[in-house]
Amino acid sequence: MQPSRTIRPALALVALLLAPLFAAAQDYPTKDIHTICNFPAGSGADVFVRYFSEKLSALAGKPVIVENKGGALGNIGTEAAAKSRPDGYTVLIAPGSSTMAAATSTFKKLPFDPQKDFIPVTTLAKLGFVIAVDAKSPIKTLADLTAHLKAKGAKATYGIAANTGLVSAELYKRAAKLEATRAQYREMGTLMNDMYAGNLDFTSGDPVWAVEQTKAGKIRALAVTSTARMSALPDVPTMAEAGVPDFGELIAWWAVFVPAGTPKPIVDKLADALDKALDDDTVRKRLLELGSDIPDKPRRGPAALTALVKGEIDRWTPIIRASGPIN
């Protein structure tokens, strides 16, 4: 069936508008690439984004510049990425479990649509979160924390600076039948100051941050939310081992996204380059040091990440809605 005379001019106009983007895809990249980190400099997220930006730069043969756009639990940087030109030169490297999956129900209204405003490129890593307290706290185990929180009841508080931290804390509360009240922070530095001052009973943070803070003697990691212990924190028990068998498992994941409309050849080039990085033994070793692991090949790439985003949104929505949205 041939297009009608009315449709033909419209199709021609679309082809004309898209032609420069698809032509540019053939030689991509020809200039600096900008990666957006949607959390502040110095955060665990920043460490992760800068590490993979270096790997991408080496494989792409062009400088990769990291831009930190923190705030609103990652929403500010994610919105900036969504509104960027879809030409492959703005890339979002983010905790997709938090930015894409959890955010849809954590907030009453998002300034972007995780499934419509982005094209998934590939998954980079999977990791559990860490339940932790101030290292100076008399609380030595998760059982101690649970007893402490039950004694405080509704006066107990916990701090979070990421959506996945909210999910893991709420799962802990539900499994242990606790009443702790949530306190939201823009970044972990401010949260930690409040915890040091005794204003927070515990936090749930990503392992990149937790490993660094544990080694520095600033926090005491009580349990990890994965079903297996982390290589980077071998002495820290899982939630089940620590006495909360009904917790289940929470695995966060890091991934790469580009704005909707980015030509498929560019998406494929980015996915291929990052896939090569993930096959490097030095990358695997570094991720293990950061408390993370590399997804198997079938779980990498645009199609696998697209399915993961949808599946995690469906899975986490009832959990987060039970705790109440943030705004």
Listed by start position, the domains of the chain span: 7-127+253-323, 130-247
Q: How far apart are CA 257 and CA 53, in angstroms?
A: 13
- Sign of the C-alpha dihedral computed for residues 118, 121, 124 and 125 taken in this order: positive
Domain boundaries 7-127+253-323, corresponding CATH code: 3.40.190.150
249 contacts 240 by C-beta, under 8 angstroms:
no
Per-residue pLDDT reduced to its tens digit, 217-270: 999 999 999 988 888 899 999 999 999 998 988 888 999 999 999 999 999 999
E-strand ranges in 86-180 read 90-95, 118-128, 130-134, 157-160
Q: Which CATH class is domain 130-247?
A: alpha beta
Question: How many CB atoms neighbour CB 150 within 10 A?
Answer: 14
Backbone angles phi, psi at 55, to 5 degrees: -65, -40
Q: Per residue in 104-163, pLDDT tens?
A: 888 888 999 999 999 999 999 988 899 999 999 999 999 999 999 999 999 999 999 888
Contact in structure between 243 and 176 (CB atoms under 8 Å): no
> Which amino acid is present at 178?
L
For residue 319, give the nearest of 160, 100, 153, 102 by alpha carbon: 102
Read off the tokens for 187: 């970044």
CA pair distance 21, 19, nearest whole angstrom = 5
Q: What is the pTM of this model?
A: 0.79
Please report where in the chains the tokens 């955010």 appear, as a residue. Answer: 103
Same fold, 7-127+253-323 and 130-247: yes
